[in-house]
Chain A
Amino acid sequence: MNDKIKTVEFDLCGFVCPVSKMKAAEAVNDLRDGETLNIVLGDTESLKSVAQELKDKGIKPDFKQDGENRFILTISK
């Protein structure tokens, strides 16, 4: 039995809203039990829209800012 939590990083820094939001939604839908997803975003518009999308899905992510324009939302399933 593997107790390790698999962490998937999904770097969307190169995508602006709403492409970032659509790709983030796809990644969240593909998340499997036991996995953790780090969604990395490169602008505040994307951050706002992805955060809203997660809220609409009833998901509360952890948030970390890594530099001026690098935002990380972490979700575990």
Chain B
Amino acid sequence: MDAGNHPDHKRRVYSDVTQLVASVENPTPLVRVNRLNTNEKLQLYLKLERYNPFGSIKDRIANEMLKGLDTDGKTIVEPSSGNTGIALACVANALGIPVEIAVPDQVPEEKKIILKFLGAKLMEADDGLCPLFPSEGARGLVNGLIKSPALKDTYVSPNQYENELNVQAHYRSTGPEIWNQTQGKIDYFFAGFGTCGTISGIGKYLKEQNPAIRIIGVEPASPDHKLPGMKRITGLAEEYIPKILNRSVIDDFVQVKDEDAYQTAIDLARKDGIPVGPTTGAILFAALNYIGEGKGVAVAISPDDAFKYTSFYKDILEAELAARRQYGRGGGI
């Protein structure tokens, strides 16, 4: 049995793990939200990116960026709130390249443990570490490592914030997947702002197919938030906005508070049986409220699953349990 160089998605036999990264021939699933969405005129679907081989939407860009990068014996270094780091570590391991990841504050322990498990060197950077990147110390640290003369020829960074391959990965795969899966009937598309590659790439593709599709970007309501991977664009100085953001494809911005994001994620798990991370909760909350009583077909990106955030959900669940006990509505022994 030879796996060959071309993935055989029918037999599901692969020559290496990177061939499992989603593509038009091997899309991540679209799953309809049936119970949390009470609007019968709205078909709301989640694009479940957790079904990528390393567990998140970042698998697509890590694969695209690393395969387009000439490392020339250097170590890969990248700032990441976790998902890009995990995906880069997996792809780099498959290619035999060493990796170091700078992680910011507010990264759950679960992600740090996975990065260590994968053998990536972890550098924890306070958000206020670098005045050149206020509130993004991890980006500043990687910038410093790349620009330090003493470390010349030591590091190379894919730089997801400026790398056009980040956009291309979504333009070539995620966008066409959504178009095919909805049979071109999509009316609304929702995604979060982070590096801005997802919304720029998918938005561009969908707008080219049908300019009437509304592309809505979701951001945290506060710059000081607990939604790993998301970035508040509104109010950000121009020099700190990711260079790959294509504003021309975005129709609206929606802000979501942390508590609404977390509660929506918990409600989705309990009502529809879909365990997602808090950023999915934010995007889904935005979608439900933006469309309201409107009609049509909507797709919301679900970047990853709940399992990397159990320590973040723990506080909310414990508060919920305490409230139940206080009001005598059960809650255990």
With CB as the reference atom, state the residue of chain B lying closest to A21.
B129
CA–CA, A7 and B68, complex, Å: 47
A→B interface (CB under 8 Å): 13-22, 45, 48-49
Chain B residues with CB below 8 A from A20, complex form: 144, 148
Chain A residues with CB below 8 A from B27, complex form: none
CA–CA, A59 and B308, complex, Å: 40
CA–CA, A45 and B137, complex, Å: 15
- Interface size on B (CB < 8 Å)? 15
Q: Which of A16, A20, A21 has the most chain B CB atoms inside 10 A of its CB? A: A16
Chain B residues with CB below 8 A from A21, complex form: 129
CA–CA, A22 and B150, complex, Å: 15
CA–CA, A33 and B149, complex, Å: 32
What is the total of A-B residue contacts with beta carbons within 8 Å? 40
CA–CA, A22 and B140, complex, Å: 12
B140, A15: Cβ atoms under 8 Å? no
CA–CA, A41 and B145, complex, Å: 15
B148, A16: Cβ atoms under 8 Å? yes
Q: How far is the CB of B285 from chain A (nearest CB, A)?
A: 35
B131 interfacial contact with A, CB 8 Å: yes
B140, A18: Cβ atoms under 8 Å? yes
B→A interface (CB under 8 Å): 125, 129-132, 137, 140-141, 144-145, 147-151
Q: How far is the CB of B152 from chain A (nearest CB, A)?
A: 9
B148, A18: Cβ atoms under 8 Å? no
Q: How far is the CB of B240 from chain A (nearest CB, A)?
A: 16
A19, B131: Cβ atoms under 8 Å? no
Chain A residues with CB below 8 A from B129, complex form: 18, 21-22
A14, B144: Cβ atoms under 8 Å? no
A19, B144: Cβ atoms under 8 Å? yes
Chain A residues with CB below 8 A from B147, complex form: 16
Chain A residues with CB below 8 A from B140, complex form: 17-18
Q: How far is the CB of A21 from chain B (nearest CB, A)?
A: 7
B132, A17: Cβ atoms under 8 Å? yes
A19, B145: Cβ atoms under 8 Å? yes
B130, A17: Cβ atoms under 8 Å? yes
Chain A residues with CB below 8 A from B141, complex form: 18-19, 22
Which of B130, B149, B150, B151 meets A18, CB within 8 Å? B130
B130, A15: Cβ atoms under 8 Å? no
Chain A residues with CB below 8 A from B137, complex form: 18
30 of the cross-chain contacts (CB-CB < 8 Å) are A13-B150, A14-B148, A14-B149, A14-B150, A14-B151, A15-B150, A15-B151, A16-B147, A16-B148, A16-B149, A17-B130, A17-B131, A17-B132, A17-B140, A17-B144, A18-B125, A18-B129, A18-B130, A18-B137, A18-B140, A18-B144, A19-B141, A19-B144, A19-B151, A20-B144, A20-B148, A21-B129, A22-B141, A48-B131, A49-B131
CA–CA, A8 and B139, complex, Å: 31
Chain B residues with CB below 8 A from A13, complex form: 150
With CB as the reference atom, state the residue of chain A lying closest to B123.
A22
With CB as the reference atom, state the residue of chain A lying closest to B129.
A18
Q: How far is the CB of A10 from chain B (nearest CB, A)?
A: 12
Chain B residues with CB below 8 A from A17, complex form: 130-132, 140, 144
Q: Which of B131, B140, B147 has the most chain A CB atoms inside 10 A of its CB? A: B131
CA–CA, A15 and B155, complex, Å: 13
